[in-house]
Structure 1
Amino acid sequence: MTANDAGTGTDADAASDDFGDASEVADVLPRPDDPLAEAVEAALAGRSTVVAVGVPIRLLPSVLAARERSSGDPWRIACRPSVVDALSRALVLGSAVAEAIECDEIRIRTGEPLGHGTGGTLFASPQRADAVVGPRGERTLATTEGDADPNAVDGARATAESRFDAASATTVEMPSRTRLLAAARETLDDRFADDLAALLASLDPGEFGRTTEVSDRALLVALAARHDHLFRDLRTWVGTDGVGIAPAQEFTADRQALVDRGLIESIKVPMGPGRPLLRLRAVDDALLRARAEEVPSILRGRFALPTDAEGRVRDDASREGRRAVWERRRW
């Protein structure tokens, strides 16, 4: 197999990663029971000096998982054009990719996918090449071993290396988890940082992006409210040099959404001249008492309740949510 004969699709097919115009991680992941992603992780785990080209968002979590099970020199990964931009708005996956880069486990560039029937994606190492093949919506992984066809493997690797070298160097505009948590401990406190660390370790890659119903910003505001932090301090942390999760001003709407749904309150705290500061405080017992890993399900449950025209949870929905389970049960 060479880079040009790994399948029978068209160049138009190769330009697609099976998600049309999806540009956000949350629009693509999580994708349950994804045979292609599982095949990629299994194929890459334990290999060294991997070089890849045309990697879509869909396969990045598999690449990271396989890299954790491998050692050796950094893997060179050329992603598709929209991937790195989407990572800048993906707290979970973006911070994981940034961590791998900072630890020199992977090196990320941006380049165009391959054409000529490869499905656009090729992984190569000295003794093996794996290409994504097949029609759109039915992608599979085709493998060639060096023992069976050394010329094909050498050709595929040369193609992947050439494409990586030609790809554009790029920066993931999301902090690594190490920097994210260190800044949280310094600006906020250890309790908040421990909550965040537990959450990041438990969430799937596509959860809590910039476009999800409960956004990453709402999640962070809720965590801060569990520990009575000032809203100003939370926004100072997200704007800290090297953190930059999102513009600080974008958190106001998410704070109000949590207030409207009865999860937190904002308490005005006069502190010298100027406008009073706002202290965030959790008022929902479930949010306050939950383990950090349970916070996402609590937020989703409350955001799923019907709201009135002003965005507040309707009185009837709120009462129903607080009645004892035996009073709500219908026989």
Structure 2
Amino acid sequence: MTDDATTDSDSASDDFGDGSEVSDVLPRPDDPLAEAVETALSGRSEVVAVGVSTRLLPAVLAARERSSGPAWRVACRPGVVDALSRALVLGTAAAEAVETGAVRVRTGEPHGHGTGGTLFASPDRADAVVGPRGDRTLATTSPDSKPADGARAAAAARFAAATTEPVGMPSRRRLLAAAREVLDDRFANDVAAVLASLAPGEFGRTAELSDRTLLVSLAARHDHLFRDLRTWVGTDGVGIAPAQEFTRDRRALVERELIESIKVPMGPGRPMLRLRAVDDALLRARPEEVPSVLEGRFALPTDADGRLRHDAGRDGRRPVWERRRW
């Protein structure tokens, strides 16, 4: 066996954070183990992976995009697939890979041999995560060796014993198709650009600034009805999150003077709310710049009621009726 990766830090050990939220584990900048896994798997065929953690799943998916052949069989550690249902970026990417037949995802226990518990095997090669916690590395068998054959058989048996578990996020193509149907092309294009630009663990559900906040702000850039946004997220086959959970995020954006909610009478019953961006930075930003705009505004201090402190806002912000769309 030969080492293919440098050791990683204790805070980035392979089994750290297994089963927790994706945003708690990712992103991990300059992660040598993940980089080694992506490099080792790229271009290979008929890969069977077991013991895949949240940390290494993005590397596996990235490598699969640069490979061909039958679906890769990927058995994740317990809790990883469940966490994808609350991770818009990584969850939709994983669902896309499953829907297109690129991977088959299951949940199972880590590989029983080796301290890392993670094994990647293909017909002529096997790679295992080895080493003590906080000092993981990737070790590789020589091509066409008996250990490689045995490792592949063990990985296949472990995958066969794993449990099939659906990814609780829509694929990106279904997500965007529903956005175009329920809302419009401009909004769908914004969502596509933002998803393509974000790292896998950004805008998770555990932080105040979540994926729901991001989606509400994108809808406000195009003056959509709040009802239509919630219809989209509740569309059969989309189901990003319960529609009622978006109310808190809408209020947070209003309190930070990024958007406004305008009551629009539309027949009998309660008036509808139209979302409208009132901040120039949010309006003028390219879609991939919107996350930075939100992060900057949410970093500013607020009063006890959650509203942006008057001395924290930008001076001279133009009123909404003077704004100009670009």
After TM superposition, the score normalised by the length of structure 2 is 0.92
Deviations 1:87-115 (A, max 9, x none): 00000000000001111000000001123
CA contact (8 A) 2:280 2:317 kept: no
SS of the residue corresponding to residue 37 of structure 2 reads helix
- Identity rate of aligned residues, in percent? 80
The answer on whether the counterparts of 1:22 and 1:28 sit within 8 Å (CA) in structure 2 is no
Rounded Cα–Cα distance in structure 1 between residues aligned with 2:316 and 2:202: 25
- Whether 2:47 is the aligned partner of 1:56: answer no
In 2, the alpha carbon distance for the partners of 1:22 and 1:67 equals: 23
Structure-2 change in CA distance of 1:26 and 1:51 (3 Å): same
Does 1:205 pair with 2:196?
A: no
Structure 2 letter corresponding to 1:236: T
The answer to whether structure 1 residue 278 and structure 2 residue 273 are counterparts is: yes
Unaligned runs of 5+ in 2: 2-12, 319-326
Q: 2:163 aligns with which of 157, 161, 168?
A: 168
CA distance in 2, matches of 1:20, 1:181: 30
**Residue 13 of structure 1 aligns with which residue?**
none
Distance in 2 between residues matched to 1:199 and 1:156, nearest whole Å: 39
Residue in 1 aligned with 2:322?
none
Aligned to 1:127: 124
Question: For the residues of structure 2 that align with 1:110 and 1:244, how far apart are their CA atoms?
Answer: 22
Q: How many residues align?
A: 308
- The yes-or-no answer on 1:24 pairing with 2:21 is yes
2-side partners of 1:106 and 1:261: how far apart? 41
Cα distance between partner residues in 1 of 2:200 and 2:288:
15
The 8 Å contact of residues 118 and 131 in structure 1, kept in 2 or not, is answered as no
8 Å CA contact retained: 2:49, 2:121: yes
* Contact 2:17 2:24 (8 Å CA) reproduced: no
1:83 to 80, 87, 96: 80
Q: What residue identity is the alignment partner of 2:50?
A: V
SS in 1 for 2:141: strand
1:196 aligns with 2:191: yes
Tell me how far apart the structure 2 counterparts of residues 321 and 203 of structure 1 sit (CA, whole Å).
Answer: 31
Query: How much has 1:20 moved relative to structure 2?
Result: 4.2
Q: State the shift of 1:25 in Å.
A: 0.6
Question: 1:244: how far off?
Answer: 0.2
In the alignment, what sits opposite 2:261?
Answer: 266
Aligned to 2:307: 312
Distance 1:62 1:98 in 2: 15
Gapped regions of structure 1 (runs ≥ 5): 2-15, 324-331
Aligned-residue RMSD, C-alpha:
1.6
The separation in 2 between residues aligned to 1:259 and 1:282, in whole angstroms, is 9
Aligned match of 2:137: 140
* Alignment partner, residue 328 of structure 1: none
Runs of 4+ in 1 over 4 A off after TM superposition: 319-323
Tell me how far 1:271 sits from its aligned partner: 0.6
Matched residue type, 1:163: R
1: CA distance, partners of 2:165 / 2:212: 25
Give the corresponding residue for 2:63: 66
Distance 2:36 2:14 in 1: 16
